[in-house]
Structure 1
C-alpha cells in the first residue's frame, strides 16, 4: 500500500484536474478564493484522499435522497445508507456505487445506523430521531418523540425501544429523540438521546432498561452532554473496552466506561463533530459545522456551509481534516480548523471506512446529494 499511495500521490499532484464545485444559491457559502490547483486531492499527512463525487449511481426519481445521515458496511461488503426520505430510508450500494436494494418507508427522521454481527447474522439498529418535515408545507420541521428499532439486514423488525418514561427512566414531558446506538460485546445496547434529553441509556440485549448517565445538569460537569449526537464502542484496547460519546455543542468527545463512569474529555477546538467511527487505530468523524453561529451574519446560521471530515489518532490528536485546513496544535491544544477554500463538502454528517481505507462521506443538508467517496492515496 505505501508504494501505491506514493505513486498515486505523485501522479495526482502532477495533474491539473480543477473541476469547480458550484453550490446553488439556497445555501449560505463563504467566499471561495485561492482554490488549490488540484481540489480533488484533500487531507493531510498519511491520510490524503482523491475525491469522487460521482461514485454513487443514483437515479433521484427512483431513489430520492433528502439527507444522507449515516452509512455502514455489512459482512458482504455492501454499503448500507440511511436517510430521512421515507420513500426509501435504507439504500444499499455495492463497492462500485451501484444500488442493489432499498427498503423502509417509516422513518421520516431516519438518523442513526449501527451494524452488529450477532452470531454470524448482520443486525441493524436504527434511530428514528423524531425530526420530520411537515406534511403541510414540506419545509417546516416538526419535532416529536422518536424510537430505536432493531432490524435484520433485509428489513424485518425484531423489537423497538420507545420513550424511556415507559421504564421510569424519563418523566413524560422529557423529549426522547435518539440519534445513535452502540452495542457492547455482551449485547448491551447504548442509546444516545442526542436531539432529546442528552442522556445515554443502557439496555440489555433484549431491550430491558439497565441505567442512564449523561444529561445536562450534573454536579460533576464532566458528565454533562450537550447534543449527544453519537456514540461508539471503543475496542482498540481489548482488555479495556469503553465508550466514545459525542458532545457536539461542546465540540468534544467524552470517554466513558461501559458502566457510565467518565474517563476523559477530548476537546476539539471549533469542530462540531458527529458520531465517532473507529477504524484501525484511528477515530474518524464528520464535521457538520466549524463556524461560530453567533459570528456569521446570516438569518439561518445552521445552513452556513462549513463542514468537512476529520481523522484522530490513538493518542486523541487530530492528524487530518479532509475537506478542511491542516490541523495544528500549539502547546498540545488543537487550534481552529476551517473548511477548505475549495468548499469540498457542505456539512459532514457521517463516514464509513472500507477495507481499502476508502472513506464514504454522508452529508446533512447537502442538496440531496448521494454519499461522496474519498479514495486513500
Structure 2
C-alpha cells in the first residue's frame, strides 16, 4: 500500500475517499473569490476582503496556509509548509513584515504562548510533506519550541524513544495546546490519535485517547486539534477535534472524558476560542449525496457559549430540529476551498488559513 493510501486510512479518509479526492496536490481550476461578498449568519456576518495579504507568492512561495496566531505586538504569524519561508509575519493591514523558517517541510500546527512576558511558539511538523516535484513523503513528526524569530529552544521527544509508543504505532502530530500550569498537550492527529501530555520542560506525563478503545466516547478519530477551554475560569478543560467523526470531544486536563459536541457533516479542524465562542475551519463538508472528503467543500463554523452553532461563514445557515443540529453544508456560492484554521482579532475580524487552496495566502473576513 502506498504511503498516500496509508495517510488516507490513518486520517479517516478511507478507500471511498480515493474516488472523490483525485489528488492531494493542488487543484488546477481556481474558484473565484466573491468580491465584497457578505457571508455568515445572525450576529456573525462578514465581508470577504479580497487580496488582504499584500505579498506575492513568487517571492514568498506558499504551498498551504496551515495556522495563524497573533503575538503581543499585534503581528499575525502564519505557519505554512513551504521551506523557503515556513513562517510569514503580517500586520493587520496585510503587509508582510518578515518571513523565516526552512526546517519544517510538514509545518502544520502553531501555538503561541506568553511565558513570563515573552512570546513563545510551539511549531508542529506533522511529518507528512510534499516535495518540489509534487510527490508526497512521510517522515517522523516533530514539535519545536522557538522564540517568535525562530530561535530553537528545545524539541519534545518522539514517543517511541521514551517507551510511550510501540514500534507499530505511528507518530505524526498535528497540534499542541498549553495548559494553565505550562503543560504541553500534543494531538497525534495523523498518527495514532493519542493526546500526549508533557510538562513545560518536556517530561512525559500521560497519554489517552487513541482509536482502539472499547468505549467509543474515548476514541478520537483524526485528532486534528486540541485547545484549552477557559470559558469556565475555575474549571478549564480540553477540547479535542475528532475530525473524522465530525465532532469536538471534551476532556479534563487529566484526560477524563466529559462530553461530545456533534457537528454533522463538518470535518472540523482545531477549535479556536474567543470570548465565549468557538471558531473552527471546516476542511471538508459532506455533500447532499452523502459523499465525504469531496474537495473544495470547506467553510468556517462558529459556536456560541452553549456550544450551539450560530453561524457558518461560507456555509449554509445552521438548522436545529428538536434541539438537534442538522447536517451542515457548504454554501451554494462557495467562498473557501478547505478551511484549515482561523484567527480572531480584537475587532472580531476572522483570518482564514486554507489547505489545498491554489497557493493562496490567508483570507480576511471583516466583521460587520
Aligned mates of 2:289, 2:224 — CA distance in 1? 21
Specify whether residues 141 and 166 from structure 1 end up closer, same or farther in structure 2 by C-alpha distance, changes over 3 A only: same
**Count of residues in Structure 1 that have an aligned counterpart in Structure 2:** 343
The CA distance in 2 between the partners of 1:206 and 1:335, in whole Å, is: 44
Contact 2:352 2:364 in 1 (8 A): yes
The alpha-carbon deviation at position 315 of structure 1 amounts to 0.8
1:148 match = 143
Match of 2:179 in 1: 184
Q: Partner of 2:283: helix, strand, or coil? A: strand
Q: Secondary structure at the match of 2:357?
A: coil
C-alpha separation between the residues in 2 aligned to 1:218 and 1:295?
A: 27
Whole-angstrom distance in 2 between the partners of 1:357 and 1:144: 38
One of 18, 41, 45 as aligned partner of 1:48: 45
Is 2:233 aligned against 1:242?
Answer: no
**Structure-2 separation of matches of 1:58 and 1:293:** 37
The equivalences for 1:170-249 within 5 A come to 170-249=165-244
User: 2: CA distance between counterparts of 1:177 and 1:362?
Assistant: 21
CA distance in structure 2 between the partners assigned to 1:92 and 1:25 by the alignment: 26
Does the aligned pair in 1 maintain the 2:36–2:50 contact within 8 Å? no
Q: Deviations over 1:229-266 (max 9, x none)?
A: 00001011110000000000010000000000000000
Q: Select the structure of larger CA radius of gyration.
A: 1
CA RMSD of aligned residues (A): 2.0
> How far 1:333 sits from its partner (Å)?
1.2
In structure 1, how many angstroms separate the alpha carbons of the residues matched to 2:49 and 2:331? 16
Contact 1:358 1:373 in 2 (8 A): yes
- Residue 167 of structure 1 corresponds to 162
Instruction: Measure the CA separation in 2 of the matches of 1:171 and 1:293.
Output: 41
The answer to whether the Cα contact below 8 Å between 1:353 and 1:360 also exists between their aligned partners in 2 is yes
Q: What's the offset of the Cα at 1:172?
A: 2.2
Shift, 1:372, TM fit:
0.3
Which runs of 5 or more residues in structure 1 are unaligned?
Answer: 1-23
Q: Mark the CA change 1:65 to 1:28 in structure 2 (over 3 Å): closer, same or farther.
A: closer
- 1:311: Cα distance to partner? 0.4
Contact 2:27–2:356 at 8 Å: present in 1 too? no
Per-residue deviation, residues 46-74 of structure 1 (Å, max 9, x unmatched): 00000012110111121111100000011
Given that residues 216 and 226 in structure 1 are in contact (C-alpha distance below 8 angstroms), is that contact kept between their aligned partners in structure 2? yes
2:266 to 268, 271, 283: 271
Q: Is the 8 A contact 1:188 1:204 kept in 2?
A: yes
Question: Cα 1:293–1:198, aligned 2, differ >3 Å: closer, same or farther?
Answer: farther
Distance 1:261 1:83 in 2: 33
Instruction: Please give the alpha-carbon distance, in whole angstroms, between the structure 2 residues aligned to 1:292 and 1:324.
Output: 12
Q: Distance in 2 between matches of 1:271 and 1:170?
A: 30
- Is 1:352 the counterpart of 2:343? The answer is yes
Q: Residue in 2 aligned with 1:117? A: 114
Q: Give distance in 2, aligned partners of 1:327 and 1:39.
A: 22
Q: Please list the CA deviations of residues 332-353 of structure 1 after superposition, one character each: whole Å capped at 9, or x if unmatched.
A: 1111121112211101000000
2:325 to 330, 334, 349: 334
3-state SS, counterpart of residue 165 of structure 1: coil
1:292 Cα deviation from its structure 2 partner: 5.3
Contiguous gaps of at least 5 residues in structure 2: 1-25
Q: Would the alpha carbon gap of residues 294 and 203 (structure 1) be closer, same or farther in structure 2, given more than 3 Å must change?
A: farther
In the TM superposition, what whole-angstrom CA distance separates every residue of 1:255-290 from its partner, at most 9, and x where no partner exists? 000000000000111110000000000000000000
Distance in 2 between residues matched to 1:235 and 1:339, nearest whole Å? 30
Q: CA deviation at 1:303?
A: 5.6
Instruction: Find the residue that maps to 2:346 and give its secondary structure.
Output: coil
Partner of 1:128: 125
Q: 2:251 is matched with which residue?
A: 256
Q: 1:25 to 1:352 in 2, by over 3 A?
A: closer
- The CA distance in 1 between the partners of 2:208 and 2:263, in whole Å, is 22
